[in-house]
Structure 1
Amino acid sequence: RVRNECPDAAIILMSDQVNCLTAGAKVCGDHKPLLYCATKENSETIAETARKAGCSLAVKGKTLGETAEISEQLQKAGLKDLVLDTGARTVRAAFEDQVAIRRASTKHRYKALGFPTISFTCEMTQDPLLETMIASVLVAKYAGIIVLSDLQGDTLFPLLLERLNIFTDPQRPMVVKEDIYPINGPDENSPVLITCNFSLTYFIVSGEVEASKVPSWLLIKDTEGLSVLTAWAAGKFSADLIGAFVKKSNIEDRIKHRNLIIPGYLASTKGELEEELPDWKIQIGPREASHIPPFLRDWQAEV
């Protein structure tokens, strides 16, 4: 059922019975689930199941040392796609094990622990808020897979955002693609706004446009991840570049009017933009994103 209704979902098959895991792996077919789990008692039989099914295999010991021991045995048996579970079900123990595994595998090149880890925060507490807090610790230190008791937006989104912020190259700005973004189902009479491709600016501006309930076209100009004023000061959001982008974007094919709303902080470029885009009316938008909704509700195209 999960395979049919959620074809992109990752599947973890959990059972103490090897024959159940074998049957489950056959049903999943090409989805290749994670088999959970190999223990000291069943490692030999479950290893054969994982090998035949071509699936990843979780390794669980009662301690970190036992987990490493089982991992070594499975590697000798020819299995290389393993996931480690040290059995820790308290915050302190899980944290300490994650750090120990990372140090042993990276600093000391200990191959038995050189695999991703899995943590079950769903088994550490019954409090959803506390579970999310524990998960946030393990996102940073250094769990590869975190199993939650439920997937709710108010708990999942902060964890995904944390992961995004941690595992991002700080030397590369977070950007969105240069493009035309339709918001609220715009048509040929909808307003056209333009801003930079710094991701924070995009998400704030697009969020306010969406909140306005006004169908709009949002043009995103590549400024190499710089904010509006920074990009303007660096010469990456100047009138000539904006004019060239507007022409190249072919937004004219989607609208009847010729009105372009620019960020309020670029008011000084209005005259230059009118020279670059002689057929367009340049309108100065709000300086603050929070003022966008009332601005759009009162917006009228200039003839």
Structure 2
Amino acid sequence: MKETSPLNLYKQLPQTNCKKCGEETCMAYAAGLIARTRKVEECTPLVEEKKYAKKLEALKSIVAPELKMVYIGVGDKQVKVGGEDVMYRHQMTFFNKPPFAYDVADNMEEAKLIERVKKITTWRKFYIGKWQGVEMIAVRSVTDDPAKFAAAVKTVLANGNGFPLILCSFNPAVLKAGLEVAAKEKPLIYAANKDNWKEVAQLAFDYKVPVTLSVPFDLDGLKSMAVTFASMGLTDLVLDPGTAPNGKMLQQTLLNFINLRRAAVEEAQRDIAYPVMVLPINAWLTTEDPVRAAYWESVLTAAFVIRGGAIMIKHSLEAYSMMPDMHLRFNIYTDPRTPVQVKPGIYKVGTPGPESPVFLTTNFALTYYTVESDIASNGIDAYIIAINTDGIGVQASVAGGQLTPTKIQDSFNEAGFDWAGQKFPAMVLPGMAAKFSGELEDLFAGKAKIMVGPEDSGRIVGWMKDFWPPK
């Protein structure tokens, strides 16, 4: 959707302000459509009344993403790939983070297969207020045996906790065996190529599943195949333009990804506007050293998270390989228009009591969770009050006026904090807000002592040894 003006969307609405969509006005609803906080189907008069049929079709066309959105899997773990509108994040935001699919193979012993599946599905990391984890499982056919592949898919389904699957083989017979087991789960099949495309297209049509088109390093050929599949009514497509893990062809890989994204979102080439798959797993073709391979897999993942990769197949489950990419993906797919925030208020770390300190910070999520982590990791029982600064950090909010002594006082009053119940009633300011200490002493006179803590929360444990409890 290139449209950024609510007024132009408003023209396609009933303009009755009926509030059935949940918004007070049609203009507010139009703004919600642009921000993707509202859906076309929520305007029930537009959908249900025949007199609005032309407007409905026009609106659907306007709000359709520039990059086709493809759904993989079913239920609450279903993933969405593609659906983007911009070339670069700063132009608006990215909406659908690329799911990471970690591989298993059909030549694994059943116990090892189950062990790896469980490791994939249970891996989680808490980062800035949200759990990060794996979204998909890629089942690779190494044996090229339909029966063994079907057995592996069945085992993965039984132990995969509903994770969406990618069925990986260039052999249509193998893919069919997997689909006979897993079609109801709507897996992505990988892949149709120049040799098998007719058979794979028939499988996608018969089983009604999304399909990957693999034409390495030939964008014209990839486009031709996409047009062919679309003419057959198959539009749930993912493109694989090839992933070279190193050398000059890696540069070409990056250029291909950029050109595909540009063709879709800037040149409106609808016949190739599909999400693109990356194979960081190819890093394992470059070396026999598992540490180097895992490292390079992480590097490739990072490069293509930034360059618009919509779905990725990976291998290493080592934390040193997974965590950097999870963190980068989280940051890139965070809306730059809205700071990441926590709910303002009083939080407990550990089991604080009357002798525990009260630390002050802002509700910028990165700041809050850094402070919380530094306190918790040192076994300190404490209270933290997060002041509403619209998600701005301490230093910037002090300078910009979002954090003020009066707002701090109001925040404690709203939270209803019981200073009288504290043996050591004291508020610990971050060092960067030290200039507020005098005014806060006046505002909290008779209630709490104002103390100035370190500028860096990593030094809280040392500060506690020197200054707590207060004298």
1:122 aligns with 2:289: no
- Cα pair distance change 1:26/1:297, threshold 3 Å: farther
- 2:352 paired residue among 182, 187, 195: 187
2:255 paired residue among 91, 96, 116: 96
1:70 aligns with 2:241: no
Who is 1:156 aligned against?
Answer: 322
Whole-Å separation in 1 of the counterparts to 2:304 and 2:310: 9
Of the three residues 11, 14, 21, the one matched with 2:175 is 21
Q: Is structure 2 residue 439 aligned with structure 1 residue 280?
A: no
2:379 aligns to what? Answer: 213
Quick one: structure 1 residues 182 and 11, their matched pair in 2 at CA, closer, same or farther if it must change by over 3 Å? farther
The verdict on how the C-alpha distance between 1:229 and 1:134 changes in structure 2, with shifts beyond 3 A counting, is: closer
Aligned to 2:463: 295
* Correspondence for 2:396 among 230, 237, 244: 230
For residues 165-187 of structure 1, the C-alpha deviation after alignment (integer angstroms, 9 at most, x for no partner) is 4444545444344244443x223
What displacement does 1:251 show? Answer: 4.7
Residues 107 and 194 from structure 1, CA distance in 2 versus in 1: closer, same or farther, beyond 3 angstroms? Answer: same
Residue 256 of structure 1: how far off its partner (Å): 4.9
Displacement of 1:118 in angstroms is 0.7
* Alpha-carbon distance in structure 2 between the residues aligned to 1:179 and 1:34: 44
Alpha-carbon separation, structure 1, partners of 2:438 and 2:156: 58
TM-score under structure 2 length normalisation: 0.56
What residue identity is the alignment partner of 1:227? Answer: G
| SS of the residue 2:377 aligns to | helix
Cα distance in 2 between the residues matched to 1:160 and 1:150: 13
Among the aligned pairs, what percent are the same residue? 26
Shift of 1:209: 1.7
Q: How far, CA to CA, are the matches of 1:181 and 1:47 in structure 2? A: 55
Offset from partner CA, 1:128-147 (integer Å, 9 cap, x none): 22222222222222211222
Q: Tell me by how many angstroms 1:116 deviates.
A: 0.8
CA RMSD in angstroms, aligned pairs only = 3.0
Aligned-pair CA distance for 1:8: 6.2
**1:171-223 superposed Cα distances (whole Å, 9 cap, x missing partner):** 5444344244443x223344321101234423432332233221333222121
| Amino acid paired to 2:410 | A
Q: 1:54 to 1:247 in 2, by over 3 A?
A: farther
Residue 39 of structure 1 corresponds to 193
User: How many Å apart are 1:26 and its aligned residue?
Assistant: 5.5
Does the aligned pair in 2 maintain the 1:180–1:220 contact within 8 Å? Answer: yes
Contact 2:243 2:253 in 1 (8 A): yes
Q: Which residue of 1 aligns with 2:213?
A: 59
1:252/1:107 Cα in 2 relative to 1: closer, same or farther (>3 Å)? same
Inter-partner Cα distance in structure 1 for 2:185 and 2:380: 42
* 1:144 match: 310
The runs of 5 or more residues in structure 1 that have no matched partner are: none
Sort the Cα spacing of 1:18 and 1:228 in 2 relative to 1 into closer, same or farther, 3 A. Answer: same
Q: Distance in 2 between matches of 1:284 and 1:8?
A: 50
Structure 1 residues 30 and 264, CA gap change in structure 2 (3 angstroms): farther
Letter in 2 for 1:272: E
| Distance in structure 2 (CA, Å) of the matches to 1:143 and 1:37 | 17
CA distance in 1, matches of 2:156, 2:441: 56
After superposition, the Cα gap between the structure-2 partners of 1:30 and 1:268, relative to the gap in structure 1 and judged at 3 Å, is: farther
CA contact (8 A) 1:94 1:119 kept: no
**Distance in 2 between residues matched to 1:3 and 1:219, nearest whole Å:** 45
Mapped to 2, the partners of 1:188 and 1:95 lie a distance apart of 55
Aligned to 1:263: 430
For normalisation by structure 1, the TM-score amounts to 0.83
1:290 is matched by which residue type in structure 2? G
